[in-house]
């Protein structure tokens, strides 16, 4: 179900998907399709850098705002090529579905502050 292919680099104008503002641009590009129940494929080819901030503001927000249909309508291409990116995208989706997870700390850091 590839649907409409949205090339992320073309939308944000750079291969560096690292700021929230770019995430918002991707989100705004995608929502007309999602609202229309049109499947989309977010294409990560040509992306050089990706941050959680970008993923949360784009993919995460799509899953947060369209919880009933996002899983069926949104797919990804060229994401398997980078395991760290896949992790960030999956984290963003997980966080959208489980907002309480935003309160979890790295356990080593939590220990450091508990000792302090």
Partner 1 sequence: MVSYSLSGNIRTDAKGTQALLDFYLYAKNYKNCWFNLNIENLFWFDANLSALLLRYCHLLKSENKLNFYIDYKSLKGHLNVLNRNGLAYHIVQNKDYFKPYDNKDTTIPVKAFRLESVDTFTEYIESTLLKHQGLDGVIYDDKDRIKTSYFEIFDNVGQHGRTTYPIIACGQYFPNECEVKFTFVDSGCGFLTNISEFTKEKENINKASTAISWAVKGNSTKKNEKGGTGLSKILSYCMKNGGALHIASDDCYWAFANKSINTFNIKSNLSGATIHLIFRFLKKD
CB 96 within 8 A of CB 60: yes
Q: Binder to partner 1 among 3, 6, 7, 14 (CB under 8 A)?
A: 14
Regarding 10 and contact with partner 1 (CB under 8 A), the answer is no
**Which residues, in sequence order, are CB contacts of 51 under 8 Å at separation 6+?**
17, 18, 19, 88
The first and second tokens of residue 62, run together, are 């799509």
Among candidate residues 97, 26, 95, the one with its CA nearest the CA of residue 58: 26
Query: x-or-dash pattern for partner 1, window 16-55, by CB under 8 A?
Result: x-xxxxx-------------------------xxxxxx--
Q: Which residues sit at the interface with partner 1, rule CB under 8 A? A: 14, 16, 18-22, 48-53, 56, 60, 64, 84, 91, 95-96, 99, 101-102, 104-106, 108-110, 112-113, 116
């Amino acid at each position: 179900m590839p649907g409409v292919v949205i090339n992320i680099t073309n939308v944000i104008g750079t291969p560096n998907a690292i700021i929230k503002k770019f995430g918002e641009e991707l989100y705004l590009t995608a929502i007309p399709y999602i609202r229309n129940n049109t499947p989309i494929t977010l294409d990560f080819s040509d992306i050089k850098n990706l941050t959680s901030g970008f993923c949360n503001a784009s993919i995460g927000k799509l899953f947060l705002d369209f919880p009933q249909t996002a899983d069926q309508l949104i797919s990804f291409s060229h994401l398997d090529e980078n395991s760290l990116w896949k992790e960030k995208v999956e984290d963003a989706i997980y966080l959208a579905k489980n907002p309480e997870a935003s309160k979890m700390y790295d356990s080593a850091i939590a220990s450091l502050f508990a000792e302090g």
